A and B are shown apart, each in its own frame.
Chain A
Amino acid sequence: MATIQQLSTRHVLGIKYLTAADIELIFQTAEEFKEVINRPIKKVPSLRDITVANLFFENSTRTRISFELAEKRLSADVVNFSASSSSVKKGETLLDTVNNILSMKVDMVVMRHPAPGAHHFLSQHINANIVNAGDGTHEHPTQALLDAFSMREQLGDLAGKKIAIIGDILHSRVALSNIFCLLKIGAKVRVCGPPTLIPKYIKDLGVEVSYDIRDTLHWCDVANILRIQLERQELKFFPSLREYAQHFGVTKALLDELDHPIVIMHPGPINRGVEITSEVADSDHSIILQQVENGVAVRMAILYLLAATR
């Protein structure tokens, strides 16, 4: 490893709380770990004797596995905890649950939780390093970092590059973290979707807003297409999936119109035939599976750098 530089923070609660230098350091470190995980022997001893608890108060498959792989490849001891969000509301408070786990001498907590700011709340009360693996509709910083890392692999420096985030912006923690991250590293960002799924004040963050998918695809270098979060919609924000797919879905026909290269991304899980057709998801434009691979390297980098702040 190169000489250790430190993050400016003990926790990764959100991209909001990272500096541009932190992001660059994470990228550089992730590049090195990406090389490591492509070796025949993928494991390094960097987190030996560090215990990481993965606390998932909300369902997750890929993020949980990605973190667990990252932790194991760094030789950390890993404990997993899953609970539905409702069990916490019914009985034990978040603080009690986490304190119980921490009394078993856990050094780092990777947590997904349905309440925005849950990690922030926790960071004021516990001593372990905290990594946000998604807090409601607030942030999902490791996803944003792996997205930007993947874009950088394709396009080089992202300063001035045009990135579109398409779909359900209102219910998406990925959108918010992506916006914060991309703006910090100098990219231009546009969000696109039906107006009912775009927060009224999102422009004030410094992004463009469009309701026109065709125009947006012509504009952008990268289209990061978000999942329609049916599970978070207590109201009908659009009339039907059929109409959504017809007017906001990314199709091969739309991509065929373009006169410039485009990178297609999706944080998963994909609703094939809704926000993106199978043809597009599986096309040469798509780097969806590279995103997943990079996820492990980026998460290794974050855990490694946080351990260095201990």
Chain B
Amino acid sequence: MKAGTKLKSAVCDTEVMVIRGSDAIVECGGSPMDVERPAQRGTLNPTFSEGTKIGKRYVDAAGTVEFLCVKAGQGSLSIGGVALQVKDAKPLPSSD
């Protein structure tokens, strides 16, 4: 996935932007995300239902992929069934 691509959840309102991509398919609420939403909304997998938060950046354990949440939703993000983690808040600049 190219950096800057926007992906939408198939099961909730979540939208993310690819910050650093790979060929891995990211899931939201347990279902693969895609550039277009499916015509019919799928069902949220309760294992991946902690929700996404707008403005948060999500990474995998190895730090190889990164997604920015641009629209929040009920599903949570995973790759191959492994949950992604929230990256810490940005430090503010010391000179703005």
Chains A and B form a bound pair? no
